[in-house]
Amino acid sequence: MSLFHRLVAGVAGLLLVFSIGIFAINVNHARQSLLDSQRMETSNMTQGLSLALVQFIEAGDWTSARTLLQATSDGSFVSALRLDAVGLDEPIVVQNPGATRAPGWFQSLIALPQLSNRREISGGWSPLGTIMLEADNSLPYNQLWKLGLNLLLWLAIGMALTLVICALGFRRLLAPLHRLSHYLETLQIEGYAQPVASTRVRELQGITLAVNQLSARLNDQFVAQTAQVIRLQRMAEQDAVSKLGNRAYLTRILDEWLAAPESGALMILRIDHLSEIYRRDGFEQRDSAIRAIGHYLSGISVQGTPIQAARLSAEEFALIVPDDSDDHREELLVTLLDRIDDIVDINPLDESRVHHARAGVVLREPGLQRATMLSKADSALREAIESDQRWVTGSREARHNERSRGEWRMVIDRALASNEATFVAQPVLLNDGQELHRELFMRLREGDELHMASTFLPIARHFGIGAQMDRYVLDWLSRHGHETNRRLAVNLTQDLIGNDAEVNGLIEWLKNYPTLACRLDLEVTEDSVLRHTDNVQRLFRVAWNLDGRGGIDRFARDLNSLPILSRLRPDYVKIDQTFFVRDDVDNEFLRSLCMAAHQIEALVIVTRVESEAQRERVTDIGADGYQGYLAPAVPLNPVVN
């Protein structure tokens, strides 16, 4: 119960106690007054009748006596009259009980005694008889009931008005406290916000100041931690001249790229003219040209996705280019090489173009490893230099019955249409052995062959049908999610996150299945976070309201996402194990990365952990859990575990 409700309930209780007291005092006072009045009237009436009946008793006129008794009881407060007289064979009894509007419970609650009075009828030396009168309580009860109703009505009106006034007053007085509470909720969900406004309530001024100071201090601490991570990352993975990544950076992003279900190409550029600039103009001019090349490469993007670039040596650079068509990739190569040629040897008076930059290109294929990719790209570069070509694309591996992208698209559509998709779930374990969740992975069945997600997801991303596959997963969950009580995680594609209508549909789906949503963890990639922050934040908020969770997958590939953490406040982040197990990465950098995530209460999960040695190292660095071959995936079809 909230403080406001407690205060209103307390005031209502006090008003009820006071009202009961006022009601009891007033009714008891009225009751006593009615009893005194009834007692006096009973005594007077009995005395008057004893005098009036003397002449009728002496004359033996019993008819007149009865008539007098009946006339006295009619319309009066008398319930019964009894006359015992000399010469009367049987007593004369006249009864006239009245009717009351007071209910029985009220009469039992406020009981009135039955008043009666007896008096002798004087006849000289000896009494002529006795007259007994019993009072009727109908009229007093009616008066008390009317008084009680009026009291209850006015007390109820008074209580209602008092409660309304108190509620308005309490709401106004508690408004600063509500602002503080809302501010703290916002601080917990969205991170640092503007300081909360001060209040004139003296008791809350100190709390408001402390909350503002604590909020600013936490924000400064997170900013400092983020700056330290970025600084350490630059020290470990940034080339000082070009401001691009170095060999260590290329090693990491290559491993992460090859581990992710993505396509694209690796390019190695060589600019021999940089050596000529060094011999002719010195290292300052050469470094100036390298900085210009680095600035240009860092600004290139393909369909909104930036390329990842690193400097390998004095004259060589490496690029990871996102998936694109062959024609667009060639257009990018022409533009890129022309621009680099202009940077290193621009001569506006020379109409001829001298080609200084050469490139070796190798397309990503399933199963290729980092060493193979670099070797193939280097071989393609040497071939371009020897044959005096601007670039050479390395030959693809010869595979029997290799399918084109269009054929793969047909395989995907056919499998989804005929419900030939199957699911496995891989546990994510915390360091204490508890299970965080189980992540769902889709596999497509084609006859007796089962295609892994790493095979068809790059095709789905190329054709932009990731949202269709996400809807298939959600539809499967709506039909089979109730068959397991385990917490499940779904990794959403960028096609869905980047579409407002698809995000709205997912939100409606979550609201329609609240019992499933409370056991669901929504994962988005770091690239989706950087490109569609608003949609991710909106989705996470809905998930939290339904007791779900939100997480970021493939985190720390681009440290520009670190400042966004304080805004999104994910429940966990997942980092590839290649980021942790390399010997050339400083442990201080890794610990700072974990600390930055812990600043916003996010768990750090390391993926693709393959051995106990790797698990022990990531635990020592400060990660909270792991996912990988140590906890293999289990099938969910046809029986859900």
CATH number of the domain that residue 145 is part of:
3.30.450
Q: What angle do CA 75, 77, 82 make, to 5 degrees?
A: 95
Digit-coded pLDDT (tens) for 191-205: 555 666 666 666 666
Grade residue 64 by pLDDT with cuts at 50, 70 and 90.
Answer: confident
Q: Within a domain: residue 68? A: yes
Give the containing element (helix H, strand E) for 105. Answer: helix 104-109
Hey, which residues does 122 pair with through a beta bridge? 127
Which helix (H) or strand (E) is 626 found in, with range?
strand 625-628
Give the residue among 120, 130, 139 at the shortest CA–CA distance from 41: 139
Question: Which are the contacts of 593, defined by CB distance < 8 A and separation ≥ 6?
Answer: 229, 556, 575, 604
Q: If DSSP codes are grouped into helix, strand and coil, which group holds residue 623?
A: coil
DSSP H or E segment with residue 627: strand 625-628
CATH of the domain at 260: 3.30.70.270
Q: Which residue has the higher pLDDT, 577 or 353?
A: 577
| Contact between residue 510 and residue 548 where contact means Cβ atoms under 8 Å apart | yes
Q: For residue range 462-478, what is the model confidence (pLDDT) as tens digits?
A: 788 889 999 999 999 99
Same-domain pairing of 208 and 132: no
- Residue 523: its pLDDT value, please? 94
Residues 310-356 pLDDT 10s:
999 889 999 999 888 888 889 999 999 999 988 888 664 555 667 88
pLDDT band at 186 (very low <50, low <70, confident <90, very high): low
Residues 151 and 272 in one domain: no
Longest dimension (CA), the chain: 162
* Domain end marker among 141, 160, 179: 160
Q: Which helix (H) or strand (E) holds 573?
A: strand 572-576
Decide if pLDDT at 641 tops 50: no
What is the residue-wise DSSP string for 331-383?
HHHHHHHHHHHHHHS--TT--S----EEEEEEE--TT--HHHHHHHHHHHHHH
Residue count (the chain): 641
1 falls in which pLDDT band (50, 70, 90)? Answer: low
88 within domain boundaries: yes
Residue with tokens 């039992």: 108
- Is pLDDT of 400 > 60? no
Between 625 and 458, name the one with better pLDDT: 625
3-state DSSP assignment of residue 271: strand
Q: Note whether residue 18 is domain-resident.
A: yes
Query: What pLDDT is attached to residue 638?
Result: 47
Here the tokens at position 260 are 């992710």
Residues 251 and 141 in one domain: no
β-pairing, 625-628 vs 421-430, is: antiparallel
Long-range contacts of 254-257 (CB under 8 A, 24+ apart): 254/320, 254/370, 254/373, 254/374, 255/370, 255/576, 255/578, 256/554, 256/557, 256/576, 256/578, 256/579, 257/308, 257/320, 257/364
Average pLDDT over residues 593-604: 85
Q: What is the pLDDT of residues 519-562, one digit of tens each?
A: 999 999 988 888 899 999 999 999 998 999 999 998 877 766 67
Tell whether the model's pLDDT for residue 190 goes beyond 60.
Answer: no
> Quick one: pLDDT band at residue 189, thresholds 50, 70, 90?
low
Q: Is residue 173 part of a domain?
A: no
Confidence of residue 391 (pLDDT cuts 50, 70, 90): very high
The tens digit of pLDDT for each residue in 479-498 reads 888 888 889 999 999 899 99
Q: Which two tokens stand for residue 308?
A: 């990842």
Residue 294 has pLDDT above 70, yes or no: yes
**Domain end call among 179, 207, 237:** 237
What percent of the chain is predicted at pLDDT more than 90? 22
Q: What percent of the chain has pLDDT over 70?
A: 88
Quick check: 603 and 572 in contact, CB under 8 A?
Answer: yes
Question: Is 564 part of a structural domain of the chain?
Answer: yes
Let me know: does 508 contact 480? Beta carbons within 8 Å: no
Residues 226 and 153 in one domain: no
Together in a domain, 22 and 97:
yes
- Structure confidence at residue 640 as a pLDDT band (50, 70, 90): very low
Strands (E), 86-163: 92-95, 116-122, 127-135
539 near 549, Cβ under 8 Å?
no
Domain that holds residue 503: 405-635
Higher-scoring residue by pLDDT: 385, 582: 385
Which residue, 144, 160, 176, sits at the end of a domain?
160
Measured between alpha carbons, how far is residue 606 from residues 555, 578, 593, 636 in Å?
10, 9, 12, 23
H helical segments located in 191-243: 202-237
Same domain flag for 360 and 450: no
Helices and strands in the chain, H and E counts: 23, 21
- Structural domain total, the chain: 4
**Nearest in space to 291 (alpha carbons), one of 364, 219, 228, 340:** 340
CA angle 309, 311, 317 (to 5 degrees): 75
Tell whether 276 and 147 lie within a shared domain.
Answer: no
482 in the same domain as 423: yes
Least confident of 79-83, 275-279, 443-447: 79-83
Q: In whole angstroms, how far apart are CA 506 and each of 113, 417, 537?
A: 75, 20, 13
Strand ranges for 13-77 from DSSP E = none
Distance CA 79, CA 72 (A): 10
Average pLDDT over residues 259-288: 88
Domain check: are 258 and 381 in the same one? yes
Residue 603, beta-bridge partner list: 572
Q: How far apart are CA 507 and CA 135, in angstroms?
A: 77
What is the per-residue pLDDT for 619? 84
- Report whether pLDDT(72) > 60: yes
Same domain, 152 and 212: no
Position 170 in a domain: no
Beta-carbon count within 10 A of 511 CB: 12
**pLDDT tens readout for residues 88-129:** 778 888 887 777 778 878 777 787 787 788 888 777 667 788
Element (DSSP H or E) covering residue 79: strand 78-85
**What pLDDT score was predicted for residue 358?**
92
Give the residue from 156, 128, 16 showing the smallest Cα distance to 65: 128
Both 138 and 123 in one domain: the answer is yes
309 and 217: one domain? no
Backbone angles phi, psi at 164, to 5 degrees: -65, -45
Pairwise CA distance, residues 134 & 171, whole Å: 59
pLDDT at site 632: 83
Residue 266 has pLDDT above 90, yes or no: yes
Please, what is the average pLDDT of the chain?
Answer: 82
Residue 594: CATH number of its domain: 3.20.20.450
Domain presence at residue 271: yes
Over 90: is that where the pLDDT of 428 sits?
yes
- Let me know if residue 17 belongs to a domain: yes
* CA geometry: angle 353, 359, 364, nearest 5 deg: 145
Instruction: Say what the pLDDT of residue 639 is.
Output: 44
DSSP category for residue 560? G
Q: Which helix (H) or strand (E) holds 82?
A: strand 78-85
Given a cut of 50, whether residue 435 has pLDDT beyond it is yes
